[in-house]
């Protein structure tokens, strides 16, 4: 027994909350004691640690009653002390910051702080009472305390008995000598508790819990190992081993489940079988085969070979296809179950009739072969269909271009498209992207002539954070970075400034870009398709385009012919654009045959783009759904110049030459007057096909003469 020092007992300061509301203000600074006891209906029901409360409300020492109540703790959890303290009461004192001292008449004499009680108890150790030892001894489980160095620094008698050791053998010794080193390291490393670890040695069997001891910084300072005795460990171990054997059998069976399951012993004798048996296979009742050797059935010629015999010979899992007398095929899988001596103890046989399955498998193989062929053809059709949606053509020249584009799409080589403005270079670039292995990746296009020179560099290569005034504070990815794994289409490549040509050359050679304002290169995987309507060779000679860049771009050159050189495409393109506009505006315009003739004889300096614009202009302007040649002629400058026609014959020349000159003048005059080949042929008294053919030849000859006279 321990006595309480009377000078340590402090007065109980109470505060009655009767008739107060939760929003009532309370001046807590008026209470001088660190603990305030709350009273209701003349009974103490809670206490408040004012020091903790004032730390939270340091600026305003006037708080609401609700806050006071929320911070309070029930008085029921506080220990009631007499002047004499017994050891069991000591455990209750440790749990709360204060204890209440009772009077002999049942009232309260005051309260005492936990620190004062413990300090007084330790001062009274002249009675040779070791409080910690009493606490450890009172615990029925074994306790071992480890420090940071994994050394055992304390333990109780219960633990020593369970581990069959003495204090001299374990104290100040490495814990790994007695317990699992891996678990100890794991607790120190993770700070997590390990529960219910069974430890069995030669003469001990215990259940261990490894719990970390944390300091105020939440660091693991040590470990408490709690030990519980397991007197039935040996019986449990035997039962666990038996369960393991059962699980081994079960796993073997589960891994072999088919339609029919047989279990035979190491002699080949049938022990049991499943309810599902293959009809008509055994020719005998399997119930009569229990305890008999099924190897004899092979000798009788019932089936061949025997999977049981093969498993016994090879001592491993065997899968075979058995054939019966009537030609049926059975898939049999024999799975051996070994005992602790690595000898066969059981054989699990799973069988399934695959006669029909074999036939179906052969048919399925053929069907799959045909299906793969159909799938390949369908994919080709889909690609063709997707390609045709972008490219409308009928001429042999465009057919060659399309075939070239198909081949190019299988590679990542740099492509240079050149041709007049409006011939469809961008459409060809998109087709290469769609037909290639980069179709699922980005396709970005940039017109080098449409963006100011000071912005073109940042658009192409991006810029770093804070690269220049007005730049995005987070920087920006350029087209090359955005198009990574895909394709970038650089239109009007001839308009690119010289200093940017150097950076583009680096991209082609090194496959990397350096953003504006940065010195760190970024790797990119981009296929470049460039396009121009200029002769880059002339620009190289003039010094406005780098020669090395030209050769790096000109890996796969592809010339897109102008529309006047592929007259066969004019009609199909015209009908295509007309149908698009009809669908868009819900109209039903159509071109008459003579209108198509006029379109085919026009030279189309603006190529496909000009044709598309003319068709839209015709639809917007026409009041008649049928668009004829006369109406089309109003929007086309046909280019006839009668003043420059052949002169009248005034000297002797070969007759055929004179005939050709006169014929040319007549055809030109008739076409100017009548607009269509049909009416012109009627006026000239010849067939329409003759006029159409000769008029086309005249226009082609004139266009060639014009091209040959234009300076390079």
Average pLDDT over residues 566-586: 91
Residue 211 sits in a domain whose CATH number is: 3.30.450.20
Residue 167 has pLDDT above 70, yes or no: yes
Using the Cα atoms of residue 38, residue 44, residue 45 and residue 49 in order, give the sign of their dihedral.
positive
480 lies in which domain range? 407-561
Burial class (CB in 10 A: 0-12, 13-18, 19+), 350: buried
Other CB atoms within 10 A of residue 157 CB: 13
Beta bridge partners of 265: 346
Q: Please state which of the ranges 466-480, 519-533, 624-638 shows the lowest mean pLDDT.
A: 466-480
Look at residues 599, 623, 644 and tell me which one is the last residue of a structural domain: 644
Look at residues 131, 155, 183 and tell me which one is the last residue of a structural domain: 131
Residue 102 sits in a domain whose CATH number is: 3.10.580.10
C-alpha separations of 219 from 148, 188, 191, 255 in Å: 10, 9, 8, 48
220-229 and 205-214 as β-strands: parallel, antiparallel, unpaired? antiparallel
pLDDT tens digits, one per residue of 655-709: 887 788 788 878 887 887 788 888 888 888 888 888 888 888 888 877 665 455 4
Query: For the range 569-573, what are the long-range contacts, defined as Cβ-Cβ under 8 Å and sequence gap of 24 or more?
Result: 569/392, 569/393, 569/394, 569/395, 569/398, 570/596, 570/599, 570/600, 570/604, 570/611, 571/394, 571/596, 571/599, 571/600, 572/392, 572/393, 572/394, 573/392, 573/608, 573/611, 573/612
Residue 435 has pLDDT above 80, yes or no: yes
Q: Please state which of the ranges 106-115, 178-187, 214-223 shows the lowest mean pLDDT.
A: 106-115
Residue 476 sits in a domain whose CATH number is: 3.40.50.300
Residue 590 lies in a domain: yes
Average pLDDT over residues 220-231: 86
The label of the residue with tokens 């006279």 reads 709
pLDDT tens digits, one per residue of 351-401: 877 777 777 777 888 888 888 887 876 775 666 566 556 578 888 898 899
Look at residues 74, 103, 131 and tell me which one is the last residue of a structural domain: 131
In a shared domain, residues 688 and 607:
no
In a shared domain, residues 668 and 593:
no
In a shared domain, residues 75 and 60:
yes
pLDDT tens digits, one per residue of 45-62: 999 888 777 666 555 567
User: What sections of 319-465 are H helices per DSSP?
Assistant: 355-390, 396-409, 425-435, 453-461
User: Using CA atoms, how far apart are residues 497 and 442, in angstroms rounded to an integer?
Assistant: 25
Residue 491 has pLDDT above 90, yes or no: yes
Burial class (CB in 10 A: 0-12, 13-18, 19+), 598: buried
In a shared domain, residues 270 and 336:
yes
In a shared domain, residues 6 and 87:
yes
Asked if 464 contacts 515 with a C-beta cutoff of 8 angstroms, the reply is yes
Residue 252 lies in a domain: no
Supply the pLDDT for residue 644. 41
For residues 648 and 549, the model is more confident at 549
Asked if 240 contacts 328 with a C-beta cutoff of 8 angstroms, the reply is no
Supply the pLDDT for residue 647. 45
pLDDT tens digits, one per residue of 444-474: 999 988 888 778 888 888 888 766 666 677 7
Q: Smallest Cα–Cα separation from 415: which of 432, 427, 400, 402?
A: 432
Mutual angle of helices 655-674 and 677-684, in 10-degree steps: 130
Average pLDDT of the chain? 82
Q: Using 50, 70 and 90 to split pLDDT, how confident is the model at 711?
A: very low
Q: Using 50, 70 and 90 to split pLDDT, how confident is the model at 83?
A: low
In a shared domain, residues 126 and 8:
yes
Supply the pLDDT for residue 128. 41
For residues 103 and 505, the model is more confident at 505
Q: Using 50, 70 and 90 to split pLDDT, how confident is the model at 9?
A: confident
For residues 322 and 90, the model is more confident at 322
Strand order in the sheet with 35-40: 14-16, 35-40, 43-49, 73-74
Q: What share of the chain has pLDDT > 90, as a percent?
A: 22
Residue 581 sits in a domain whose CATH number is: 1.10.8.60
Enter the tokens of residue 557. Answer: 């050159």
In a shared domain, residues 46 and 127:
yes
C-alpha separations of 358 from 44, 235, 321, 343, 371 in Å: 89, 52, 11, 35, 19
73-74 and 84-85 as β-strands: parallel, antiparallel, unpaired? unpaired
User: CB neighbours of 585 closer than 8 A, spacing ≥ 6?
Assistant: 619
Residue 140 has pLDDT above 80, yes or no: no
Supply the pLDDT for residue 334. 86
In a shared domain, residues 85 and 199:
no
Residue 330 has pLDDT above 80, yes or no: no
Average pLDDT over residues 295-320: 79
Residue 103 half-sphere exposure, CB side, CA atoms within 13 Å? 8
Burial class (CB in 10 A: 0-12, 13-18, 19+), 621: exposed
Number of domains in the chain: 6
User: CB neighbours of 172 closer than 8 A, spacing ≥ 6?
Assistant: 151, 152, 153
Identify the three-state secondary structure at position 340.
coil
Burial class (CB in 10 A: 0-12, 13-18, 19+), 292: middle
User: Using CA atoms, how far apart are residues 87 and 581, in angstroms rounded to an integer?
Assistant: 101
Residue 246 lies in a domain: no
Q: What share of the chain has pLDDT > 70, as a percent?
A: 83
In a shared domain, residues 582 and 553:
no
Supply the pLDDT for residue 174. 93
Residue 247 lies in a domain: no
Average pLDDT over residues 587-607: 87
Residue 212 lies in a domain: yes
Asked if 587 contacts 619 with a C-beta cutoff of 8 angstroms, the reply is yes
Residue 270 lies in a domain: yes
Other CB atoms within 10 A of residue 711 CB: 3
pLDDT tens digits, one per residue of 493-508: 999 998 888 889 988 8
Q: Using 50, 70 and 90 to split pLDDT, how confident is the model at 108?
A: confident
Residue 111 lies in a domain: yes
The whole-model pTM stands at 0.43
Residue 363 lies in a domain: no
In a shared domain, residues 420 and 515:
yes
Supply the pLDDT for residue 646. 44
Residue 191 half-sphere exposure, CB side, CA atoms within 13 Å? 7
In a shared domain, residues 126 and 146:
no
In a shared domain, residues 420 and 532:
yes
Supply the pLDDT for residue 626. 92
Q: Smallest Cα–Cα separation from 308: which of 280, 340, 344, 282?
A: 344
Supply the pLDDT for residue 144. 92
Supply the pLDDT for residue 710. 40
Supply the pLDDT for residue 353. 76
Q: Please state which of the ranges 198-212, 397-411, 503-517, 634-648 shows the lowest mean pLDDT.
A: 634-648
């Amino acid at each position: 027994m321990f006595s309480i020092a009377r000078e340590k007992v402090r007065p109980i300061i109470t505060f009655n909350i009767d008739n107060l509301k939760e929003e009532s203000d309370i001046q807590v600074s008026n209470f001088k004691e660190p603990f305030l006891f709350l009273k209701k209906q003349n009974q103490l029901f809670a206490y408040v640690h004012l020091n903790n409360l004032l730390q939270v409300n340091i600026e305003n020492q006037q708080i609401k009653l609700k806050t006071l109540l929320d911070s309070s703790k029930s008085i029921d959890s506080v220990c009631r002390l007499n002047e004499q303290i017994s050891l069991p009461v000591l455990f209750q004192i440790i749990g709360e910051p204060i204890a209440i001292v009772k009077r002999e008449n049942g009232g309260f004499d005051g309260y005492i702080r936990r620190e004062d009680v413990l300090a007084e108890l330790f001062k009274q150790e002249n009675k040779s009472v070791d409080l910690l030892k009493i606490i450890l001894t009172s615990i029925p489980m074994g306790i071992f305390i480890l420090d940071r160095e994994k050394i055992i620094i304390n333990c109780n008698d219960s633990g020593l008995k369970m581990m069959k050791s003495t204090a001299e053998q374990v104290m100040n010794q490495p814990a790994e000598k007695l317990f699992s080193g891996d678990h100890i390291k794991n607790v120190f490393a993770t700070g997590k508790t390990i529960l219910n670890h069974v430890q069995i040695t030669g003469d001990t069997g215990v259940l261990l819990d490894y719990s970390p001891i944390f300091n105020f910084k939440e660091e693991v300072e040590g470990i408490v190992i709690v030990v519980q005795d397991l007197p039935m460990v040996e019986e449990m171990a035997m039962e666990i081993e038996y369960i393991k054997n059962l699980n081994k059998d079960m796993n073997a069976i589960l891994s072999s489940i088919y339609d029919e399951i047989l279990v035979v012993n190491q002699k080949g004798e049938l022990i049991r079988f499943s309810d599902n048996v293959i009809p008509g296979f055994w020719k005998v009742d399997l119930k009569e085969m229990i305890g008999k050797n099924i190897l004899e059935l092979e000798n009788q010629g019932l089936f061949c070979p025997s999977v049981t015999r093969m498993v016994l010979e090879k001592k491993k899992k065997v899968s075979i296809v058995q054939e019966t007398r009537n030609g049926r095929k059975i898939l049999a899988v024999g799975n051996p179950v070994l005992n602790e001596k690595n000898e066969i103890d059981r054989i699990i046989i799973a069988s399934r009739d695959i006669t029909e399955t074999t036939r179906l498998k052969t048919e399925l193989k053929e069907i799959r072969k045909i299906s793969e062929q159909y799938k390949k053809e369908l994919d080709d059709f889909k690609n063709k269909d997707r390609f045709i949606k972008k490219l409308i053509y009928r001429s042999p020249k465009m057919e060659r271009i399309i075939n070239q584009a198909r081949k190019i799409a299988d590679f990542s080589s740099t492509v240079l498209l050149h041709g007049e403005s409006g011939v469809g270079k961008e459409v060809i670039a998109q087709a290469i992207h769609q037909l290639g292995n980069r179709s699922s990746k980005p396709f970005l296009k940039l017109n080098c002539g449409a963006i100011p020179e000071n912005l073109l560099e940042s658009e192409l290569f991006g810029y770093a954070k804070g690269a220049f005034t007005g730049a995005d504070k987070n920087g920006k990815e350029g087209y090359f970075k955005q198009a990574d794994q895909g394709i970038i289409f650089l239109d009007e490549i001839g308009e690119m400034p010289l200093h940017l040509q150097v950076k583009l050359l680096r991209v082609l050679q090194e496959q990397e870009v350096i953003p504006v304002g940065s010195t760190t290169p970024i790797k990119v995987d981009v296929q470049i398709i460039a396009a121009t309507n200029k002769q880059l060779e002339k620009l190289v000679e003039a010094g406005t385009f780098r020669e090395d860049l030209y050769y790096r771009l000109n890996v796969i050159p592809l010339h897109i012919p102008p529309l006047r050189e592929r007259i066969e495409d004019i009609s199909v393109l015209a009908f295509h654009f007309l149908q698009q506009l009809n669908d868009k505006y819900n109209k039903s315009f159509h071109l008459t045959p003579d209108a198509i003739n006029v379109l085919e004889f026009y030279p189309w300096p603006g190529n496909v783009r000009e044709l598309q614009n003319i068709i839209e202009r015709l639809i917007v302007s026409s009041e008649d759904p049928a668009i004829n040649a006369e109406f089309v002629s109003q929007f086309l400058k046909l280019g006839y110049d009668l003043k420059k026609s052949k002169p009248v014959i005034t000297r002797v020349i070969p007759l055929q030459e004179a005939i050709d000159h006169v014929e040319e003048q007549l055809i030109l005059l008739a076409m100017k007057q009548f607009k269509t080949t049909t009416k012109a042929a009627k006026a000239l008294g010849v067939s329409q096909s003759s006029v159409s053919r000769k008029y086309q030849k005249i226009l082609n000859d004139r266009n060639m003469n014009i091209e040959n006279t234009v300076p390079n």
